[in-house]
Amino acid sequence: MRSWLVSVSLVCAMAWPATADPEAWYPSKYGAGDTLGAFNELSPERVVAAAGLVKTGKTYRLGVETGRDTPAFGARSFELFAVAHGDGTGATLGANKGSFNDDWMLTWLGIGTQIDGLAHLGIDHVYYNGTPVQEFFQPTGVTKFGTHEFPPIVTRGVLLDVAGHRGVERVPGGEVITKAELQAIQKKQGTPVQAGDVVLLHTGWQALATEDPETFLSTEPGLDGPAATYLASLDVVAVGSDTWALDVLPGPNPEILFPAHQILLAKNGVYILENVQTAELARDGTAPFLFVLGVPRFVGAVQMVINPVAIR
Amino acid sequence: MRSWLVSVSLVCAMAWPATADPEAWYPSKYGAGDTLGAFNELSPERVVAAAGLVKTGKTYRLGVETGRDTPAFGARSFELFAVAHGDGTGATLGANKGSFNDDWMLTWLGIGTQIDGLAHLGIDHVYYNGTPVQEFFQPTGVTKFGTHEFPPIVTRGVLLDVAGHRGVERVPGGEVITKAELQAIQKKQGTPVQAGDVVLLHTGWQALATEDPETFLSTEPGLDGPAATYLASLDVVAVGSDTWALDVLPGPNPEILFPAHQILLAKNGVYILENVQTAELARDGTAPFLFVLGVPRFVGAVQMVINPVAIR
Amino acid sequence: MRSWLVSVSLVCAMAWPATADPEAWYPSKYGAGDTLGAFNELSPERVVAAAGLVKTGKTYRLGVETGRDTPAFGARSFELFAVAHGDGTGATLGANKGSFNDDWMLTWLGIGTQIDGLAHLGIDHVYYNGTPVQEFFQPTGVTKFGTHEFPPIVTRGVLLDVAGHRGVERVPGGEVITKAELQAIQKKQGTPVQAGDVVLLHTGWQALATEDPETFLSTEPGLDGPAATYLASLDVVAVGSDTWALDVLPGPNPEILFPAHQILLAKNGVYILENVQTAELARDGTAPFLFVLGVPRFVGAVQMVINPVAIR
Amino acid sequence: MRSWLVSVSLVCAMAWPATADPEAWYPSKYGAGDTLGAFNELSPERVVAAAGLVKTGKTYRLGVETGRDTPAFGARSFELFAVAHGDGTGATLGANKGSFNDDWMLTWLGIGTQIDGLAHLGIDHVYYNGTPVQEFFQPTGVTKFGTHEFPPIVTRGVLLDVAGHRGVERVPGGEVITKAELQAIQKKQGTPVQAGDVVLLHTGWQALATEDPETFLSTEPGLDGPAATYLASLDVVAVGSDTWALDVLPGPNPEILFPAHQILLAKNGVYILENVQTAELARDGTAPFLFVLGVPRFVGAVQMVINPVAIR
């Protein structure tokens, strides 16, 4: 994550004219005290229906690697070390001569395939359901919205193959995936998105993560605000993509940064998945699938590295 | 990781008479070059069959928390920190006033619910399929058997309710779960274990992790060597329990340490899951379930913290 | 960092009436572009004079331990691990059979004996010499005022034995060390503080760090604002104490937090040393000494753990 | 520490014919229970004499930076992060509007200017004074020889300007600095090394650390075994150089690795300083100086990053 790391130029220090949001975005439709957000859309009925989609039994590993070379935003870094048990003398354990290896890592949690919790992004320090950051931020981990509190995410998954729709291998960076395009793709694929779904966008962008990490990070195709609003209106559980930030970069309006993040996470409590490995799924078509994700339960985390599973 | 941390007394420094294993345990039945071990038992057919088990759509979160207070073996520790983006001035991003939080953690990977990869434990520095440690050990992470290389683990799950079988809330520490008992439980439950299954043992022991972490770590019910050999003979993919080490502690023979680990991981390439949260599963009965686990893909890891999902 | 860790209750979230500082405190008397602050008082002449103080050759280790049990403010923590080189087999290096151990640590830098750099504390996000935080704050380390840029700190050291002056073993927590008292002590000891000096206050408080860490952190004797202003007026290089925060806690005015820090660091560029081990120095009297401190040069650090040396 | 990091090819895995050391090297001349090694040579008398060397008051910062780009051996790495206090809203502390920054780092301890403690290198798992590694090695830090136990290192320092002696800017990599050369330099400089001294070798090699880190690590000028034995015979406290490993690399005998380390640390308890910044000292001549080093007291460390001070 060294030489090719592109620090996205975030215009933090400038004073922006206050652009108040005319529409109140809280309390949440799930209730004033709700902290689950779109997880409220998960249900046993939807699980059963999704399990019914399994036909061939082929499984898809939707996680990419999180390693020392994985491109990452900003100052995020990853290190992992294996440790041979013992004092170096080669002594083993017991008459059965056990030897073993342990391991540890220092990692920022927004590297590789990840899920953004609702503590990740807000509007002027106010988060999902109008929750002020002071209510949950602690240096030792968040006390609300922590990813360790997530239920199992089991539901129907729909792949919207944007690249396929456009007849390209890779949607170019900076290309907006609009509401109209999302509607057209669903129609063409015959896979209308339903409430409770996890929607995954395939753009082909993820291949650049290894081929050209600088470009991978400095631009990408993605949603604009209205597209995000549209997806949220479908009552989906999560929106994911094979890009690192879901939002189109650069955005159409240079003064508006990461609007899809704000609309999904903060305004609607819809979860975001990034760096999803959609290539194999897309190669096999666009049939909806059983989506299963158990997020590792590290206490207090804002985001988490994940490896979801798709089953067809 | 606090005052109650019990460092299991491992007799490392003593010289043990060489107890050679009379039976050659490699090459693996999966072939001399195999590194997948029991993952070879995963198959699309078994996935389809397992998906067919889904009736009610109830999902079970099989992971416990991995936090600062999670009891852990030896020197393992965990720390996680949330970081408010920015320089502390409260500046937000863009005219849409984005604010966000990031996070990082330092963690040893064998804390809480975890999966042991085949690089974790060997016999006299030789690991699964006769692989000498020199072939894969690097301080920066293992080059074989890394958990980042795991396929999605999707198959049938069988819960063997040991506590229920004994009519107790919690099987006492030091109690051996024998081959005979495992056979009796399968028979009584009407859930014979099949090839390709993930077997989970419910002992009730996990409750002590929060109630009495010292006792939780210093002893536990578990398998002996023959019970592990028996389970391996069933061609299961993994064996898990709601204890921290699967093996009975203390073992029946004080000179033999962690035999179940050796037999499963090293000799048979069968994966081990520890600290599995089986309580809710057991409360709802012993019907086999769809087991789904996507192990987070941190590169080079020997073990990994996980949060598997069971679906009924 | 354990159960006794007291998180000082900092009233962060409340809105405080804007109390503007009527006197402009920048530019610094050392010049508008200065970043060295009181290091400008170091000089070869003062070094020579200080070296001339060496009579007996007795050296004093002024650093306390920074370990897992060292009491620390807030969420700060420390972990260190030793690693035996190799893959656990006991192989040595070369025909000369070299074996070796390596080590690593994760540590927050404000634990144990430490020096505060000028990036540590400011007034409303403005730091020494009127430097806005945006000018130097980077998540990967500060770009100004970093402790790695410090010159060797070699000068005369003066111990003001506050406990001795009061005829007690330990000055009680909450006791203010006033300007008047500081003047009286210098007079009584016959050790007037001079420009370029490092001043160390001995209160006896450090003993509580091991005896009663909760009390140690929750209160302490220390300076008030006027006392800090007074010391700064003497053109000292640094002020240190055997307490963790130099400021009296609780402060006389509950609305004013850490005023000595602000006055010394931000307004005057005078460095602060905390948790200095002054006991042995005090036991041997109050003769001024040669003070030598080479701060480890970790790049980008705001503060640093140190082990200064006093020589008499 | 990425692309240019050269992992020195250590022949670990091969079996070497046992080359026993015919001369017993323990117990130490300082006594069978001694753990201080050459620190026994420190004395108040020597401190006084060294302080008497101070003439001009010029101070020299002998530490180089330890940062993300500092070349390091093997898998060692360094990361440091600054953290703005608070929850990101910009709230300050108190009516006096305090704002502050904190920091933390993850670092291996053998990076940049460092001191090797006696737990660092041994012979066949036996360390200084015949101490078996089992006596002090713990994963959580060593229980003997820890750098946190060091006394202040205050004594006379002698610079042996090897580059100057050879009339070059930089002694080439692979060049042996022999006993004969060390004797010749002392004679030419008129600075015979005395018992209790810290000896620093200037080769000019350190400049390559930034200019050409790959070469810097892959070879270097340095001592051979006999030169190390010679220096140890002078009863010095420590030997340092402006190279990363003191030993000549590659060594004259490819089967003997790091002999100077073994002879100094293990056989004689003489400390080693690496990556010492000697350039400025050498530029100003070879007059002996007051050497002062307070090693930061991180508990359990094998080695430590340092920033010694020389005063003339």
N- to C-terminal Cα distance for chain C?
35
> In this predicted structure, what is the pLDDT of residue C300?
98
Query: What are the chain C neighbours of B137 within 8 Å (beta carbons)?
Result: 87-88
Q: Tokens representing D243?
A: 């190279």
> In this predicted structure, what is the pLDDT of residue B61?
98
Model confidence at C171: pLDDT above 50: yes
Q: Tokens representing A51?
A: 């399990």
How far apart, in whole angstroms, are the C-alpha atoms of residue C31 and residue C40? 11
Instruction: Encode pLDDT of A54-73 as tens digits.
Output: 999 999 999 999 999 999 99
Total CB pairs under 8 A between chain A and B? 377
Element (H, E) at C65: none
- How much helix, strand and coil, in percent to the nearest 5, is found in chain B? 25, 25, 50
Tell me if D159 sits within 8 A of D130, measured CB to CB. no
Q: Mark out chain B residues that contact chain C at CB-CB < 8 A.
A: 2-3, 75, 77, 79, 81, 83, 87-89, 106, 125, 133-134, 137, 139
Exposed (0-12), middle (13-18) or buried (19+): which is D297, by Cβ within 10 Å?
Answer: buried
Distance from CA of C166 to the nearest CA of D (A): 30
Alpha-carbon distance values, D300 to B7, B10, C160, D264 (Å): 18, 21, 32, 21
- Identify the chains in contact with A, defined as 3+ C-beta pairs within 8 A: B, C, D
Chain A residue nearest residue D136, CA to CA: A87
Q: What is the mean pLDDT of chain C?
A: 93
Q: In terms of DSSP bridges, do strands A289-293 and A309-311 run parallel, antiparallel, or are they unpaired?
A: antiparallel
How far apart, in whole angstroms, are the C-alpha atoms of residue D3 and residue C294? 31
Q: What is the CA radius of gyration of chain A?
A: 20
Q: For D140-145, what is the mean pLDDT? A: 98
> In this predicted structure, what is the pLDDT of residue A20?
45
Of D13, D134, D139, the CB nearest to B74: D139
B9 φ, ψ (degrees, to nearest 5) = -75, 100
Instruction: Encode pLDDT of C267-282 as tens digits.
Output: 999 999 999 999 999 9
Tell me if C63 sits within 8 A of C296, measured CB to CB. no
Tell me if A160 sits within 8 A of A189, measured CB to CB. yes
Distance from CA of D166 to the nearest CA of C (A): 30
Model confidence at D13: pLDDT above 50: no
Confidence of residue D170 (pLDDT cuts 50, 70, 90): very high
Q: For D103-110, what is the mean pLDDT? A: 97
Query: What are the chain D neighbours of C298 within 8 Å (beta carbons)?
Result: 66-67, 78, 80, 105, 107, 305
Interior/surface letters B134-161, b for 16+ CB within 10 angstroms, e for the rest: ebbbebbbbebbbbbbbebbbbbbbbbb
> In this predicted structure, what is the pLDDT of residue D21?
54
Model confidence at D1: pLDDT above 50: no
> In this predicted structure, what is the pLDDT of residue A24?
86
Q: For D272-278, what is the mean pLDDT? A: 98
Q: Lowest mean pLDDT of A15-29, C182-196, D148-162, name the range.
A: A15-29
Confidence of residue D24 (pLDDT cuts 50, 70, 90): confident
> In this predicted structure, what is the pLDDT of residue A21?
54
Q: What is the pTM of this model?
A: 0.94
B53: amino acid identity, one letter: L
Model confidence at C62: pLDDT above 60: yes
CB contact under 8 A, B91 and D90: yes
Which of D156, D289, D307 should we substitute to test contact with C (largest number of C Cβ atoms within 10 Å)?
D307
Distance from CA of D84 to the nearest CA of B (A): 5
Model confidence at C23: pLDDT above 80: no
How far apart, in whole angstroms, are the C-alpha atoms of residue A110 and residue A66? 10
Regarding predicted confidence, which is higher, C200 or D19?
C200
> In this predicted structure, what is the pLDDT of residue A17?
40
Model confidence at D8: pLDDT above 50: no
Distance from CA of A1 to the nearest CA of B (A): 14
Closest among B172, B164, B112 to B296, alpha carbons compared? B112
Query: What are the chain D neighbours of A134 within 8 Å (beta carbons)?
Result: 87, 89
Q: What is the DSSP string of A31-56?
A: -TT---GGGGG--HHHHHHHHTT-SS
Of B61, B65, B98, the CB nearest to A258: B98
Q: What is the mean pLDDT of chain B?
A: 93
CB contact under 8 A, C87 and B125: yes
> In this predicted structure, what is the pLDDT of residue C21?
54
Q: For A94-108, what is the mean pLDDT? A: 97
Q: In terms of DSSP bridges, do strands A303-305 and A114-116 run parallel, antiparallel, or are they unpaired?
A: antiparallel
Chain B residue nearest residue D104, CA to CA: B81
Q: Strand ranges (DSSP E) for D166-277?
A: 176-177, 198-202, 222-223, 238-241, 271-274
> In this predicted structure, what is the pLDDT of residue B21?
54
> In this predicted structure, what is the pLDDT of residue D6?
38
> In this predicted structure, what is the pLDDT of residue B7?
39
Model confidence at C19: pLDDT above 70: no
Instruction: Encode pLDDT of D188-240 as tens digits.
Output: 999 999 999 999 999 999 999 999 999 999 999 999 999 999 999 999 999 99
Counting other chains too, the contacts that C176-179 makes at CB distance below 8 Å and 24 or more residues apart are: C176/C221, C176/C222, C176/C223, C176/C224, C176/C227, C176/C248, C176/C252, C177/C201, C177/C203, C177/C221, C177/C222, C177/C223, C177/C224, C177/C227, C177/C248, C178/C224, C178/C226, C178/C227, C179/C226, C179/C227, C179/C229, C179/C230
Element (H, E) at B37: none
Regarding predicted confidence, which is higher, A8 or D183?
D183
Q: Mark out chain C residues that contact chain B at CB-CB < 8 A.
A: 2-3, 75, 77, 79, 81, 83, 87-89, 106, 125, 133-134, 137, 139
Closest among B203, B271, B286 to B239, alpha carbons compared? B271
Tokens 């920033």 sit at which residue?
A: D307
Distance from CA of C141 to the nearest CA of B (A): 11
Cis peptide before B308 (omega within 30 of 0): no
A261 φ, ψ (degrees, to nearest 5) = -60, -45
Return all residues near B145 (Cβ < 8 A) that are at least 6 apart. Answer: B35, B117, B118, B119, B127, B128, B131, B136, B302
Instruction: Encode pLDDT of A161-194 as tens digits.
Output: 999 999 999 999 999 999 999 999 999 999 999 9
> In this predicted structure, what is the pLDDT of residue B3?
35
Neighbours of D143 (CB within 10 A): 13
Largest CA distance in chain D: 73
Model confidence at D137: pLDDT above 70: yes
Q: In terms of DSSP bridges, do strands C238-241 and C271-274 run parallel, antiparallel, or are they unpaired?
A: parallel
Going from the first residue of chain B to its last (312 residues), give the mean pLDDT of each consecutive group of 10, the final group possibly shorter.
37 40 83 97 98 98 98 95 96 96 97 98 97 98 98 98 98 98 98 98 98 97 98 98 98 96 98 98 98 98 98 98
Portion of chain A with pLDDT greater than 90, in percent: 92
Q: Mark out chain A residues that contact chain D at CB-CB < 8 A.
A: 2-3, 75, 77, 79, 81, 83, 87-89, 106, 125, 133-134, 137, 139
> In this predicted structure, what is the pLDDT of residue C24?
86
Cα A157 to chain centroid distance, Å, stands at 14
What is the four-CA torsion angle of B168, B169, B173, B178, rounded to 10 degrees? 50
Q: What is the mean pLDDT of chain D?
A: 93
> In this predicted structure, what is the pLDDT of residue D5?
35
CB contact under 8 A, C133 and B3: no
> In this predicted structure, what is the pLDDT of residue C14?
39
Q: How many CA atoms lie within 13 A of A221 on its CB side?
A: 23
Closest among C68, C151, C117 to D148, alpha carbons compared? C68
Q: For D303-308, what is the mean pLDDT? A: 98
Q: For D247-268, what is the mean pLDDT? A: 97
Neighbours of D233 (CB within 10 A): 11
Query: What are the chain A neighbours of C138 within 8 Å (beta carbons)?
Result: 75
